Structure 1
Amino acid sequence: MRPQRRLLYPTLAGLLAAALLLLMMTQATPRLAPPDESGTLRVASRNAATTYYLNRHPQAVGPEHDLIQRFAAAQGWRVEWELFETTAEVLAALEGGEVHLAAAGLTHLPSRDARFARGPAHTEIVEQLVCHRDDRPLPRRVSELAEVEVRVTAASSYSERLRSLVNAHTGFRFREDPRNTETLLAAVAEQDVECTVADSNIVRMTRRHFPHLEVALNLTAGEPLGWYLPDDQTALAAQARQWMASAAGETARAAMRQRYYSHIGEFDFVDLRALNRRIDERLPRFLELFLAAEARTGMPADLLAALAYQESHWDPAAVSPTGVRGIMMLTRNTAASLGVDNRLDPAAAIDGGARYLADRHRRLPDSIPEPDRTYLALASYNIGRGHLLDARELARELGKDPDSWADMKEVLPLKADRRYYPRTRYGYARGYEPVHYVDRIRNYLDVIGAALDAERSPPGTATPSRTGILEGPAPAG
Structure 2
Amino acid sequence: MPYTRHLFSPARCALYPAALALWLLLSGCEPARQQVLPDWQNGDLVVLEDSLQPGADFQFNHELAKLFAGYLHAKLTVIPADVAHAPEMLAQHRAHLAAIGFRSNSASPGLVYAPSYQTVAEQLVFNNAHDAPADIAGILELKIAVVSGSAQETLLQEIKRKQPQLHWESRSGVGVDDLLDEVANSQLDVTFANQQQFGAAKNFHENLGIAKFAIATPSQLAWAFAPDSDARLREQATQFFADISKDGRLHGLVDRFYGFNERLAPLDAAAFLEQVNSTLPRYRALFKEAAHWSGLDWKLIAALAYQESHWNPLATSFTVCAA
Shorter-chain TM-score above 0.5: yes
Q: Any idea what the Cα deviations from partners look like across 1:45-71, whole Å, max 9, x if unmatched?
A: 12332333xxxxxxxxx2212222112
Counterparts in 2 of 1:164 and 1:284: CA distance versus 1, 3 Å:
closer
Residue of structure 2 equivalent to 1:92? 88
CA–CA separation in structure 2 for the residues paired with 1:107 and 1:249: 23
**Residue identity opposite 1:238 in structure 2:** E
Deviation at 1:273, TM superposition (A): 4.2
Contact 1:45/1:51 (8 A) holds in 2:
no
2:67 match: 70
1:48-447 alignment, distance < 5 Å:
48-52=54-58, 62-84=59-81, 86-112=82-108, 114-135=109-130, 137-169=131-163, 171-178=165-172, 179-217=174-212, 218-233=214-229, 234-246=231-243, 250-265=247-262, 271-281=268-278, 306-309=307-310, 350=314, 353=317, 356-357=320-321
- Quote how far apart the aligned CAs of 1:281 are: 3.3
Q: CA deviation at 1:150?
A: 1.6
CA contact (8 A) 1:187 1:193 kept: yes
- Cα distance in 2 for residues equivalent to 1:194 and 1:92: 31
8 A contact 1:117–1:228 mirrored in 2: yes
The alpha-carbon distance between structure 1 residues 194 and 266, as it changes in their structure 2 partners (threshold 3 A), is farther
Partner secondary structure for residue 80 of structure 1: strand
Q: Which moved more, 1:255-264 or 1:70-79?
A: 255-264
**Partner amino acid for 1:308?**
S
Q: Deviations over 1:250-272 (max 9, x none)?
A: 43202212212233218877743
Distance 2:316 2:118 in 1: 42
- Runs (4 or more) in structure 1 with deviation over 6 Å come to 266-270
| Cα distance in 1, alignment partners of residues 141 and 50 from structure 2 | 32
Partner SS for 2:179: helix
Q: CA 1:351 to 1:141, structure 2 compared with 1: closer, same or farther past 3 Å?
A: closer
The equivalent residue for 1:33 is 38
CA contact (8 A) 1:70 1:252 kept: no
Question: RMSD in angstroms over aligned alpha carbons?
Answer: 3.4
Aligned length: 277
Equivalent in the alignment of 1:417 = none
Q: 67-76 vs 146-155, which deviates more?
A: 146-155
Q: Distance in 1 between matches of 2:132 and 2:201?
A: 19
Hey, what's the Cα distance between the residues in 2 that align with 1:91 and 1:226? 13
Ranked by relative contact order (alpha carbons within 8 Å, sequence separation 6 or more), the top structure is: 2
Aligned partner letter, 2:196: N
1:45 paired with 2:39, answer no
Decide which structure has the larger Cα Rg and report it: 1
Amino acid at match of 2:57: T
- In structure 2, the gaps of 5 or more residues are 1-25, 288-300
Shift of 1:160: 3.3
Q: Using the alignment, how far apart are the partners of 2:260 and 2:308 within structure 1?
A: 15
C-alpha contact (below 8 Å) 1:304/1:354 kept by paired residues:
no
Provide the rounded CA distance (Å) in 1 between the counterparts of 2:225 and 2:309. 46
State the Cα distance separating 1:200 from its structure 2 match.
1.9
Contact 1:109 1:157 in 2 (8 A): no
What letter matches 1:261 in structure 2? Y
> C-alpha deviations, 1:131-180, integer Å up to 9, x for none?
11112x11132232324322112233333332343342364332322233
- Mapped to 2, the partners of 1:308 and 1:275 lie a distance apart of 11
Evaluate the alpha carbon distance shift between residue 270 and residue 196 of structure 1 in structure 2; reply closer, same or farther with a 3 A threshold. Answer: farther
Q: CA 1:357/1:89 → structure 2, altered by over 3 Å: closer, same or farther?
A: farther
| Secondary structure of 1:104's aligned partner | strand
> Structure 1: how far apart are the matches of 2:36 and 2:112?
14
Q: How big is the shift at 1:83?
A: 2.3
Q: TM-score, normalised by structure 2?
A: 0.73
Amino acid at match of 2:64: L
Secondary structure of residue in 2 paired with 1:280: helix
Maintained 8 Å contact 1:45/1:102: yes
SS at match of 1:254: helix
Give the superposition deviation at 1:124. Answer: 0.4
State the secondary structure of the residue aligned to 2:86: helix
Contact 1:71 1:240 in 2 (8 A): yes
User: Following TM superposition, by how much is the alpha carbon of 1:277 offset from its aligned partner in structure 2, in angstroms?
Assistant: 1.6
> What SS does the aligned partner of 2:117 have?
strand
Q: Name the CA shift for 1:272/1:93 in 2 (closer, same or farther; >3 Å).
A: farther
